[in-house]
């Protein structure tokens, strides 16, 4: 099982460094997209006490490696981005964020479904093929606060949860039984930070991460992005995302110790 995702900054006049900090802060998942509003031309930003909203659809060209197993039977898994794309059926990933003054409310969602169909050797029960379907759903609501907000750097503290759902289904052809299916669900508490540094009026660097656990023994991710202000309401981004989780059910019947990493590209759209 793996996770990767599908979906996706020339100003009419120069921006100040403070504008770049507030308009270019965008990242993934717990990292989320910041929906900053234009500041005054001096270093002191005037807060408008209004809600601002942003949406970040993105593509994650990820590969994965790790160990998974059931009932004591474990196997190593290694798949390239090409391997995963060749079995991709459908998926959706995006981050939504609401902001008011220093308060941030990010929400990250990822859903994908993979499938494969293989023939099997002649056997006594007459099965000639097995259809395999696997799905993964992640939901990460968080609450954040901008602890540092200057023309040179912005720092957001974030805390929340990450909900995981993994599902699998095997269907035999011709149909002998209704098939076999199983799923695992758990929730982890996570906390982290997002740092945005403007390099120029249009370009900024975002570094973010979070870590935690609960249902899983460990659950953490890191993201590095380069943002470019295409328009006042559009920021393009590209970078790298790394996500690791180590989950083992309490009954020791299911193991999912997996790392997913790869190139990320996307765009933040601000609506207010």
Residue 18 corresponds to which tokens in the numbers above?
Answer: 């403070």
pLDDT band at 267 (very low <50, low <70, confident <90, very high): very high
Comparison of pLDDT for 245 and 49, the residue scoring more:
245
Provide the sign of the torsion angle of the four alpha carbons 42, 45, 48, 52, taken in this order.
positive
pLDDT over threshold 70, residue 23: no
pLDDT over threshold 60, residue 41: no
What is the average pLDDT score of the chain? 79
What percentage of residues in the chain have a pLDDT greater than 70? 72
Q: At 146, which helix (H) or strand (E)?
A: strand 129-149
The CA–CA distances, whole Å, from 109 to 4, 97, 148, 229, 251 equal 12, 12, 27, 24, 28
Residue 96 corresponds to which tokens in the numbers above?
Answer: 């939504």
pLDDT band at 69 (very low <50, low <70, confident <90, very high): confident
17-270 CATH: 2.40.160.20
| DSSP 8-state code for residue 250 | T
- The strand ranges marked E within 199-253 are 203-214, 218-231, 234-248
- Cβ of 35: how many Cβ atoms within 10 Å? 28
The length of the chain is: 272
Residue 5 corresponds to which tokens in the numbers above?
Answer: 């995702």
pLDDT band at 113 (very low <50, low <70, confident <90, very high): confident
Comparison of pLDDT for 141 and 43, the residue scoring more:
141
User: Quick one: pLDDT at residue 254?
Assistant: 85
Q: Residue 8 in 3-state DSSP?
A: coil
Contacts with 185 (C-beta within 8 Å, 6 or more apart), sequence order:
163, 164, 165, 166
Calculate mean pLDDT across residues 45-55. 79
User: What are the structural domain ranges in the chain?
Assistant: 17-270
């Amino acid at each position: 099982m793996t996770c990767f995702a599908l979906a996706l900054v020339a100003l009419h006049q120069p921006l100040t460094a403070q504008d770049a900090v507030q308009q270019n802060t965008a990242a993934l998942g717990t990292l989320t997209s910041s929906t900053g509003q234009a500041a005054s031309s001096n270093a002191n930003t005037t807060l408008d006490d209004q809600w601002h909203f942003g949406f970040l659809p993105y593509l994650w060209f990820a590969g994965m490696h790790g160990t998974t197993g059931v009932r004591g039977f474990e196997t190593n898994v290694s798949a390239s981005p090409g391997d995963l794309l060749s079995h991709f059926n459908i998926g959706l990933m995006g981050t939504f964020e609401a902001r008011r003054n220093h308060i941030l409310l990010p929400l990250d969602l990822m859903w994908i479904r993979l499938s494969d169909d293989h023939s099997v050797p002649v056997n006594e029960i007459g099965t000639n093929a097995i259809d395999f379907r696997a799905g993964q759903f992640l939901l990460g609501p968080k609450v954040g606060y901008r602890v540092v907000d200057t023309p040179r750097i912005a720092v957001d503290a974030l805390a929340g949860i990450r909900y995981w759902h993994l599902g699998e289904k095997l269907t035999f052809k011709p149909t002998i039984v209704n098939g076999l299916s199983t799923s695992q669900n758990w929730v982890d508490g996570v906390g982290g930070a997002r740092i945005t540094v403007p390099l120029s009026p249009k370009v900024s660097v975002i570094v973010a991460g979070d870590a935690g656990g609960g249902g899983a023994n460990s659950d953490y991710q890191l993201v590095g992005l380069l943002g470019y202000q295409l328009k006042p309401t559009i920021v393009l981004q590209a970078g790298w995302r790394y996500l690791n989780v180590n989950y083992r059910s309490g009954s020791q019947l299911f193991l999912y110790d997996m790392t997913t990493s790869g190139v990320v590209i996307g765009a933040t759209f601000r609506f207010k």
